[in-house]
Structure 1
Amino acid sequence: MTVLVSGATSQIGRFLLPRLVAAQLPVLAVSRHRQPEQQGVRWLAGDLPGVLRSAAGGSWQAIVSFGPMDPLVDWLAAQPVAPAAKIIATSSMSVVTKQNSAQADEQAVVLRLQRGEQGIAAQAARLGMAWTLLRPTLIYGAGIDRSLTPIVQRARRLRVFPIPMTHGLRQPVHADDIAQAVMAALAGDAASGQVLEIGGGERLDYQQMFQRVHASLAERTLPLYLPAAGLRLLASLVPRARGPVSRLGQDLLADNARLQALLGVQPRGFRPDAATWQPMSPAQARARIGTGTC
């Protein structure tokens, strides 16, 4: 039976596809743009609702989604019968960590995530589909994230690496660990009807996290330590920085206990190397999984 993967070229998708192929599960992969042929994977190009409508009538073992939940919910709401036996989707720990934000745009993110989670659960229940939602913390590992990798790229250009001197705990999670959680959820029903948090296997404070990223770079860059008082001044001058700066001293963590109990997944600690920050193609992701270096 085929597994349909939406967001197949995302960070997690790049690690999940080779794992599905290795497990001899046929894959129908969705991407906005055409992709090179890949053994065991059939690609569909286009936006999510349109592609799903064109693929309607297929018999799928599961739907796995790493993209926005809204269009998936809308499509499910239009289905008279279950398009698959199971659906697994990623949300975000932002639904928890940004709940009390004073920023209107961040409140909008929380509301959208809440609606997406509730919509998937409701539509899956209506259609008789098993469902699992994963809430990752900060994702890294494929060099295409929008959090740490852009900071690395800027530091390489300027030869200066900013290190905020703040101590809120963080728990960055490797994209391949999320892919392994998806594989475990596909393999059984222990996580059916569950919303599971997933963070990295190590908790470290903000300054430590940035120091490790800096230490991982092959290029020489000057560390620039930014005191908390300076960051607060920045937030007072730049309104859009207020939300992020306000959370620098907060602990933004996930509780992996239920993930480990239900799926047996133990995420790795945060040990990036220089390759972590290079954009990784699906082929490179396959190679890193094969050599155990991801």
Structure 2
Amino acid sequence: MNNANPPITLGMLGASSFVGQALLQLLQSNQSNPLLAPPQNFKIIAFSRKAEREPTRSTPTCGAEIHWMPLHTMPTLAPRSIENWIVVSPIWTLAEHAAQMQRLGAKRIVALSSTSVITKVQSASQAEQTKMHLMLEAEQRFLDWGKTSGIQTHILRPTLIYGNAADQNLTEIARLIQRFGIFPLLGKANGARQPIHVEDVAQACLLCFQQALQHPEQLTKAIYTLSGRDVLCYKEMVAQIFTALKRPARFLPLPLPVFYTLVRLMNFIPRYRDWTPSMAERMNKDMAFSHKDARHDFGFQPRGFQLTAKDLPMP
């Protein structure tokens, strides 16, 4: 480990979340990590609404010292003690902590949102519409607050996130296939997708933060889109899930009225109670996004879409 420089203190909101866990694993990787140039040591103040955890001390093979803290203890920290932040909790929760983050001396913040604010903002589902408008408003409040407070703020919007058998996207499709051996499709299901692995989302958070810290002039955008390297249609994406599960791809094409009925029936199963007909309609909607700005401004280079056993749940 490089001990020439003092560790960088980094506050993290949403540390126990799906992306948060991947980010902590990345930060704990050893100094040979090619993402960090030069290698950095980190002192992570990991905030979570979940039960308090024991602090993890750095070791010769780790690059981060993690201190877990319940969110409600944030006011007990000394003023101007955390200048750097990565927020991977839902972006609309950021407003309730903004005053404390400012008291703690926030100078630069990278926050996670989603391309869903574009793809679902006109959803037929009123609940989805409401949530997306909430996210858009939260994004704008965050950026406006940064401008008025003199805080460097950047938003990362990933596409469909998968990986580590913990996402709510491909993992749920896999469970449906494991349970029924077949997957229903609406029409041709040819809408474009560009899924991104959770480890690449974590990588982007760290790369963007590092650029904000070392070369802020290189970050030309307030909002960056994150996506995977490969673009494929929805049906192809699901076919790869069948392949990863070592099952033959079996699809059941359904007309829209029948699909609506099927979704309503699925809602009686607790795991699928949040599924909506709008999800089926999006099978034929293009939801791929370029990540060229992220590549240009902070060197983001995601992997291609190739599922492994650890990305999907065990049967």
TM-score of Structure 1 vs Structure 2, range by shorter chain: 0.7 to 0.9
Any conservation in 2 of the 1:81–1:127 contact (CA below 8 Å)?
A: no
2-structure distance, mates of 1:53, 1:34: 16
Assess, with a 3 A threshold, how the Cα gap between structure 1 residues 223 and 63 changes in structure 2: closer, same or farther. Answer: same
Report SS of the residue matched to 1:243. helix
% identity of equivalent residues: 26
Any conservation in 2 of the 1:27–1:42 contact (CA below 8 Å)?
A: yes
Which residue number in structure 1 is paired with residue 201 of structure 2? Answer: 178
Q: Deviations over 1:8-65 (max 9, x none)?
A: 122222222233344311111122233354333333343x4x2433335252231111
Shift in Å at residue 205 of structure 1? 0.4
Which residue number in structure 1 is paired with residue 286 of structure 2? Answer: 251
Any conservation in 2 of the 1:131–1:193 contact (CA below 8 Å)?
A: no
Which residue number in structure 2 is paired with residue 113 of structure 1? Answer: 135
Alignment of 1:124 with 2:146, yes or no, is: yes
Shift in Å at residue 80 of structure 1? 6.0
Shift in Å at residue 179 of structure 1? 1.4
Shift in Å at residue 69 of structure 1? 1.9
Assess, with a 3 A threshold, how the Cα gap between structure 1 residues 139 and 270 changes in structure 2: closer, same or farther. Answer: same
Report SS of the residue matched to 1:34. coil
Q: What is the 5 A alignment of 1:61-210? A: 61-77=83-99, 81=103, 83-156=105-178, 158=179, 160-162=181-183, 164=185, 165-188=188-211, 189=216, 190-191=218-219, 194-210=222-238
TM-score (structure 1 length as normaliser): 0.84
Shift in Å at residue 82 of structure 1? 6.3
What stretches of structure 1 of length at least 5 have no aligned partner? 280-294
Any conservation in 1 of the 2:77–2:104 contact (CA below 8 Å)?
A: no
Q: What is the 5 A alignment of 1:8-47? A: 8-21=15-28, 22=30, 23-31=40-48, 32-35=50-53, 37-38=55-56, 39=58, 40-46=64-70
Shift in Å at residue 275 of structure 1? 1.2
2-structure distance, mates of 1:57, 1:134: 27
Q: Is the deviation greater in 110-119 or in 54-63?
A: 54-63
Q: Deviations over 1:124-165 (max 9, x none)?
A: 122211111000111111211111112323433x26142635
The number of residues matched between the two structures is 273
2-structure distance, mates of 1:233, 1:163: 10
Q: Deviations over 1:52-110 (max 9, x none)?
A: 33335252231111112223213214666563210011011010001221221011111
Which residue number in structure 1 is paired with residue 268 of structure 2? Answer: none
Which residue number in structure 2 is paired with residue 224 of structure 1? Answer: 250
Q: Which amino acid aligns with 1:4?
A: G
